[in-house]
Structure 1
Amino acid sequence: MNLRRIFNNRYYSAGILGLCAAVALGSYLLASDGVFRIGYPLDDAWIHQTYARNLGETGSWAFIPGQISAGSTAPGWTLLLAIGYWVNLNAYFWTYLLGWAVLWLLSLTATYGFRMLLPQHADLGILAGLLVIFEWHLTWAAGSGMETLLSGLIALAVLLWMISLSDQSAHGINHLGWQWLGLGLLVGLSVWVRPDGITLLGVVGLTLIMTNVDLITKLRSGLILGAGFLLAAIPYLLFNLVLAGEIFPNTFYAKQAEYAILRSFPLWDRFFNLIRQPLTGVGIVLLPGLFWFGTETLRKRKWAQAFSTLWILGYLILYAIRLPVTYQHGRYIMPVIPAFCLFGLVGMVLLVELLTEQNFGRIIKNAWIIITAVILLAFWILGLRAYAMDVAVIESEMVDIAQWVEKNTEGESLVAAHDIGALGYYADRNLLDLAGLVSPEVIPFIRDETALRNHIDKEGANYLVTFPGWYPNLVQSAGLIYQTNGAFSPMMGGENMSVYDWMPP
């Protein structure tokens, strides 16, 4: 059996992609263990683990046992993690297994999408799957312990399903009610993974409006779509309303308040800072393809495909307006990268086909293939080191501090802290969350150190845990009693996390 037949066989290609996903993620995990030890590359992953553990072991939705709260941005992801605790699996094993499964499913979805969009090149579909596996942001996300990759998978699935429905309608197939219902349900489920999944409802609705069917069919399909969405989304809104008194989780409001100062910069500056993130890597060579895909589908009035491209742009603009943060390699906008990669790859294949008809076309084609492969692999290797260093910082700072607090502070003490993930997991202490995730009362004055000091005093905190530079005024009111000696944070231009004995006036 030759390679083309192997790649075109869905079972062989699925097996190859599953193996490649395991190699990609496993390499990142081995790198982190080699640099320091296994862990997660951001403290927020420990927030999910803490909620999941408490849910699995006590049946309560709480970060601090006995205190119900809405500090998980992604309750759907937390529920998946909780399964591991229910069946007594090792937490690392289950989390990484989920990461591998999502990465594999994402590669299968991208492969299917490529074959659907370019049926004449179906044998090349596996390349789309390999592309999303080895795009370094996505491998990083698979090992992050976060919901990011699952959000990207659902978004890509919604867009491809929408394109398929639009194509079926264009060919006169109008009995699609159950599919619109399913699509609405999937969009509704997306908000359980990330609140910004609701943006998918706009692009699906816009596509339905432009679908080439009669008005009655549009209205009927729209009602079915809306019913499916509400069926999944209303429980989510009620869930947050009961827990926090708001329809979205505390994190939705806390992050925007904490980084409000960034919105003072010009919008164009914020947007270009964000778009740099998916372009750092293979995205830069896929950008012409994405542009070509978007403009050609718009010119040919293939609305579903054109609007899918515009969704990527709109998502970036939305974050530029509301939360223009780029830390952790731009993880908030990583959900657009799978769609960016697929549509960019499809566009580049079409563009290269066009160029091969011109002089030097074959040279251009071969050069693009080589450049794409080299950049993809080079940045995947760079991402491997970035992941390992990110994990090392979290483990040598946040986890180290949390374990020290557990061993060296009184059980009934109240600890005020900004990063509460590892603290919640390792230290059985009452926590005052200065980031507002489980202490939403601080959100109105989240960046006001004077107000924070007064609140810490009012609550009677015994300790303050922070990086000194984050709250320079607060630490002046406290006595240093412990500081990590981690080498990785200073190596990356940061500082060591510290524990202070809080001394109220």
Structure 2
Amino acid sequence: MISPKKFRKTKPNKPTPEFNFNIQTVKSPDLKIVILVTVIIAIALSVYFIFHANAVNGFLSFPLDDPWIHLTFAKNIADYGSFSYFKNEVATAGSTSPLFTILLAIGFFISHNEMILGYFFGVLFFLLAAVSFYRLSEKEFGNSSLLVFLCIGFFLLDKWLTFIAASGMETTMFIFFLILGMFFYKSRNPVPTGLILGLILWTRPDGVAFIGALIIDYAYKLYLNKTNKQVELFTKRELMKVFAAFAVVAVLYFSLNLYLSGSLLPNTYNAKLAYYSPEFRSRVDFLSLEVWDYFTTGSYSILMAGTLISILFITIDVFSKKYNRFFVYLIFILAFIFIYWYKLPYAHRFGRYMMPIIPFFIFLSIYGFSQAAVFLYGKFKFRLIKQVTLLVLFTSLIISTSECISNADLFASECRYIHNRQVVTAEWLKEHTNETDVICTHDIGAIGFYSERKIIDAAGLITPALVKKLNTPEYAGFLKNYMKENDVKYLAFLREWFRVVNQRPLFSTINESPVEVMEVFEFYPDSTHILMDKTRSLITYAEQMISQNKPQIALNALSHAVLEEPDVSLTYYLMAYCYASLGNNAEIESNLLKAINIYPKYTDALYQLGNFYIETGDKISALKYLTLAFITDPGNENIIALKQRAESMANNKINPK
């Protein structure tokens, strides 16, 4: 018989502690302190970007041309009381964000410094968005101060949100209204919800994706409420308040556009849809390069992993007929991307059209990682899962911080890029043209603001009469006739957008960089030659092939360009360059002569033909063409030196001594 002493009392199993991301020794921070710190960080980062750019460049600028569009409208509202792009003469719904423009106009009554106004409102709405994001984070992750901290950390230290905050754009205001609208919607606060939804339209027309997402989310909640009364809904009275508040603000928005342009939406909407039409841009490339690659680079790659996990959990809840509070974020992101994919497959520089979904991308990622941790802990009781998850997230936050700080260099270089093209060109136009001269350009921002000249917009943003022919084969001719009818005197084009040939530019930024060269031409209605889009594309492609030392491929493209437009001197000049790489002297001479025959004052062709004749021993012909080159550009040191060499060789031939 076993002795009772042999029996040992077994300790009862300790209950498994509930899994959460709280740190018991850390108290929830005081709201006022958190908001103060958030504001300080938001301002500090934005100011750092601005001061860094000024220190590097020696001047203030924006990394985009678009801020000056808002500023030009705003200045004319303040000065002339007209929503116009030139004094009070060109009233048009050419601002994508009339609310932002109106705020800038109010700012002009306080300060006439356009840079300060642009920076001020961009940074102001960034910090307001940050505070609102913190409050919304509390609503979603209020049981974990760590997750809330991570949310606001990723927001404040995001490389693109800090970048765009100092860019003078309406983007941070749009993001602020999206976050605030979501906060009021989830708080079931009807009147503010409706008002914010209306203001979202005043900020950007693509805000309809947000409105649509809320409608889908609410319809889903209505469906679930039939069997689960715990799914909270607005009362009928509250819904009427939402609709009424929205309707008042929306009607004012549509009325303004209707009054200014005769359509419910701004001119910019139709112009951008026409210019960046899916017919001319790949929807597949948009999704793969401008969406997927954008959100899987650097720290985003880690956040994307969490987002994909969140989609899995949300999908499971949908099939289980269980409401998931993050469902609305996913729907908004998908709706927003879909609108651009379907209507405008272009995310623009720095992916700025995709930036408004970044805050909700952060939410989905944090939710995905936290839910995965809870699931794994419940399944395997892996006690270190919290630490591992937090390590992954904090590692991503550190990477994000590094990217944010280093992005200040990109901000500075892009500010210089815009200044040395658009701003410098605008200043040249103001100095070298008359006040009554009309200028045609496609980059209307800085040129419109600083040149103080009347603008014809070749991209149609403020000239809706041109939109109907954008991206058509006959557009170059249509534009030329329109310019003739409107007494255009000068053209200011980036080569990659519109290219003028057979004519010497009055001004060029070629010395700044061979990429996106801005050129100014005098417009001669009977002789100025603007390339058709297809020809321009072929020539641009050929130039790329030449830079990659692929002359045969370039020649193939140039041959097609000749078939499209046979009277383009540039085409033959480039063909001569290709034949030089292939060592075909006969074709070099033939094509250079063709180029000069079309455009007798073609300095580069004259110079290269003179050089060709020197190399082939025809000193008399060399001197002839170098003299002609010198006449077209007497200050060119390369021409002077080569001409002197030809003169010396010719003299030696006549007089050996």
| Fold similarity call, TM over 0.5 | yes
Contact 2:278 2:342 survives alignment (8 Å): no
Alpha-carbon contact 1:477-1:502 (below 8 Å) kept? no
Is 1:223 paired with 2:240? yes
Indicate conservation of the 8 Å contact 2:67/2:118, yes or no: no
Quick one: structure 1 residues 303 and 241, their matched pair in 2 at CA, closer, same or farther if it must change by over 3 Å? farther
Q: SS at 1:206's partner residue?
A: helix
Q: Aligned to 2:501, what secondary structure does the other structure show?
A: helix
- Tell me how far 1:479 sits from its aligned partner: 3.5
CA–CA distance in structure 2, aligned partners of residues 251 and 336 of structure 1: 21
Q: Are 1:341 and 2:362 an aligned pair?
A: yes
Structure 1 residue identity aligned to 2:501: Q
Which of 59, 82, 85 is the equivalent residue of 2:81? 59
Residue identity in the other structure for 1:61: F
Q: Equivalents in 2 of 1:284, 1:157: separation in Å? A: 27
Q: Which has the higher helix share?
A: 1
Aligned with 1:147 (options 156, 164, 170): 170
Aligned to 2:198: 188
- Give 1:15's match in structure 2, choosing from 12, 32, 36: 36
Residue in 2 that maps onto 1:175? none
Residue number among 492, 505, 520 corresponding to 1:480 in the alignment: 505
2-structure distance, mates of 1:219, 1:16: 40
Contact in 2 for aligned 1:478/1:502 (Cα 8 Å): no
Alpha-carbon separation, structure 2, partners of 1:23 and 1:185: 31
Amino acid at match of 1:83: I
1:307, CA displacement in angstroms?
Answer: 2.4
Tell me the CA shift for residue 461 of structure 1.
1.2
Letter of the aligned partner of 1:403 in structure 2?
E
The structural deviation recorded for 1:186 is 0.9
8 Å CA contact 2:330, 2:364 repeated in 1: yes
Q: How far apart, in 1, do the equivalents of 2:26 and 2:206 lie?
A: 40
| Partner residue in 1 for 2:623 | none
Shift in CA distance, 352/34, structure 1 to aligned 2, threshold 3 Å: farther
User: 1: distance between equivalents of 2:431 and 2:419?
Assistant: 17
Q: How many angstroms apart in 1 are the aligned matches of 2:280 and 2:26?
A: 52
- Relative to structure 1, the CA distance from residue 6 to residue 404 in structure 2 (aligned partners, 3 Å threshold; closer, same or farther) is farther
Q: 1:397-434: CA deviations, max 9, x gaps?
A: 10000011000011111111110111111112121110
Question: How far apart are 1:160 and its partner, in Å?
Answer: 3.1
**CA separation in 1, counterparts of 2:160 and 2:279?**
23
Q: How do 1:174-213 and structure 2 match up within 5 A? A: 179-211=189-221
The equivalent position to 2:456 in structure 1, one of 432, 451, 454, is 432
Q: What TM-score results when the alignment is normalised by the length of structure 2?
A: 0.69
> 1:273 and 2:289 equivalent?
yes
The farther-off stretch of 39-48 and 442-451 is 442-451
Cα shift at 1:445 = 1.6
Q: Which amino acid aligns with 1:59?
A: G
Q: How many angstroms apart in 2 are the aligned matches of 1:461 and 1:349? A: 61
Distance 1:280 1:393, change over 3 A: same
CA distance in 2, matches of 1:203, 1:218: 19
Taking the aligned partners of 1:486 and 1:337, their CA distance within structure 2 comes to 38
**TM-fit CA distance, 1:264:** 5.2
Query: In the alignment, which residue of structure 1 is the partner of 2:96?
Result: 73
Q: Deviations over 1:193-237 (max 9, x none)?
A: 001112222222223223355799765444332222111111100
Alignment RMSD, CA only?
A: 2.5
Alignment of 1:75-474 (within 5 A): 75-88=98-111, 90-122=113-145, 124-165=147-188, 179-211=189-221, 219-260=236-277, 265=282, 267-275=283-291, 276-300=293-317, 301-355=322-376, 357-358=381-382, 361=385, 364-365=388-389, 367-447=391-471, 448-472=475-499
Amino acid at match of 1:203: A
CA shift digits 1:445-493 (9 cap, x unpaired): 2232232223222322111101123223xx1264311113563x54xxx
**CA separation in 2, counterparts of 1:157 and 1:287?**
24
Partner AA of 2:507 in structure 1:
Y
Larger mean CA deviation between 494-503 and 412-421 belongs to 494-503
Distance 2:234 2:520 in 1: 63
Report the more deviating stretch, 224-233 or 201-210. 201-210
Q: Residues 219, 268 of structure 1: CA spacing in aligned structure 2 closer, same or farther, 3 A cutoff?
A: farther
**Cα pair 1:110 1:342 within 8 Å, conserved:** no
CA 1:308–1:182: 2 relative to 1, 3 Å? same
In the alignment, structure 2 segments of 5+ residues that lack a partner are 1-22, 527-657
Report deviation, 1:370.
4.3
User: Aligned AA for 1:27?
Assistant: Y
The alpha-carbon distance between structure 1 residues 11 and 486, as it changes in their structure 2 partners (threshold 3 A), is: farther
* Distance across 2 between alignment mates of 1:60 and 1:327: 29
Higher relative contact order (CA 8 A, sep 6+): 1
Distance 1:376 1:367 in 2: 14
2:65 is the alignment partner of 1:43: yes
3-state DSSP of counterpart to 2:409? helix
Distance of 2:144 and 2:138 partners within structure 1:
7
Change (3 A) 1:495 1:201: closer
SS of equivalent residue, structure 2 residue 108: helix
Which stretch shifts more, 124-133 or 421-430? Answer: 124-133
Q: Cα offset for 1:116?
A: 1.2
**8 Å Cα contact 2:184-2:192 kept in structure 1:** no
Aligned AA (2:493):
T
* TM-score, normalising length: structure 1: 0.89
2: distance between equivalents of 1:459 and 1:232? 37
Residues 191/106 of structure 1: CA separation in 2 closer, same or farther (3 Å cut): same
Deviation for aligned residue 1:4 = 7.9
Q: Take 1:3 and 1:102, find their aligned partners in 2: how far apart are those partners?
A: 34
Measure, in 1, the Cα distance between the counterparts of 2:24 and 2:374: 22
CA contact (8 A) 2:147 2:366 kept: no
Listed one character per residue, the Cα deviations across residues 66-118 of structure 1 (whole Å, up to 9, x for unaligned) are 22111100001111112210123633223222222212122212222222112
Q: Does the Cα contact within 8 Å between 1:190 and 1:197 map onto a contact in 2?
A: yes
Deviation per residue, 1:282-323 (Å, 9 max, x gap)? 322112222333443453422552122121012112101111
Compared CA separation, residues 304 and 196, structure 1 to 2 (3 A): farther
Residue pair 1:44, 1:421 contacting (<8 A) in 2 also: yes
Identity fraction in percent? 25
Q: Which amino acid aligns with 2:287?
A: F
Q: Which runs of 4+ in 1 moved over 6 A?
A: 2-7, 214-217
Per mean C-alpha deviation after superposition, the further-off stretch among 285-294 and 412-421 is 285-294
CA distance in 1, matches of 2:295, 2:81: 39
Range with bigger deviation, 121-130 or 97-106:
121-130
SS at match of 2:96: coil
> How many angstroms apart in 2 are the aligned matches of 1:495 and 1:101?
32
How far apart are the structure 1 equivalents of 2:156 and 2:214? 26
| 1:18–1:104 contact (8 Å) kept in structure 2 | yes
Q: Quick check: 422-431 or 274-283, which moved more?
A: 274-283
Listed one character per residue, the Cα deviations across residues 347-373 of structure 1 (whole Å, up to 9, x for unaligned) are 323334444643763663254134302
Change (3 A) 1:7 1:46: farther
The answer to which of 29-38 and 10-19 deviates more is: 29-38
Shift of 1:496: 2.5
My pick for the range that moved more, 269-278 or 431-440, is: 269-278
